[in-house]
Amino acid sequence: MEQTSKKSFLLKMINRETVSYGLFGVLTSALNVGLFQLLLWCNLDYKYANLITLVIVKLIAYVCNKNFVFHSKTGSYMGLVKEFCRFVVARGLTMIIDYAGLIIMVELLMCDKFLSKCFITAFVIIINYFIGKKHVFKDSTRKDTGI
């Protein structure tokens, strides 16, 4: 009986949505870390490099999450505006975690910039999934299909 329960739990956790989120999470994370490193190579201060990277990646993440992960369909222009505003607020909060976390790791803990960026990015991905699922794309019509 316990084996069936574990299998049922895994099937609920591993579905089209979580796999899509994982795939697009890896892609946007690679862009996040890659663009950050590129801007560092261009001798941009790491704080500015991180801010520019975060804004670009958050906008790309909205499009990916809306269209490919949560399959969000807003019925009106105002619905789209509300959804985007929820996304900006939610991702703005995790952007603060990302931005401040990098500074704390680099300046207070004396960690490497690139490794710190990778660690913070992974931490924020997990938070973003739950915020996106529960607060951003919650009112939209979604297709929930399995893999």
Residue 11 lies in a domain: no
Residue 2 lies in a domain: no
Averaged pLDDT score across all residues of the chain: 85
pTM for the whole structure: 0.76
What's the structural domain count of the chain?
Answer: 1
Residue 50 lies in a domain: yes
- Residue 138's φ and ψ, nearest 5 degrees, are -70, -35
Residue 75 lies in a domain: yes
Q: pLDDT tens across 45-64, in order?
A: 999 999 999 999 999 989 99
- Residue-range definition of the domain harbouring residue 120: 16-136
User: Which pLDDT score, from 0 to 100, does residue 147 have?
Assistant: 37
Residue 8 lies in a domain: no
Residue 144 lies in a domain: no
146 pLDDT exceeds 70? no
Residue 10 lies in a domain: no
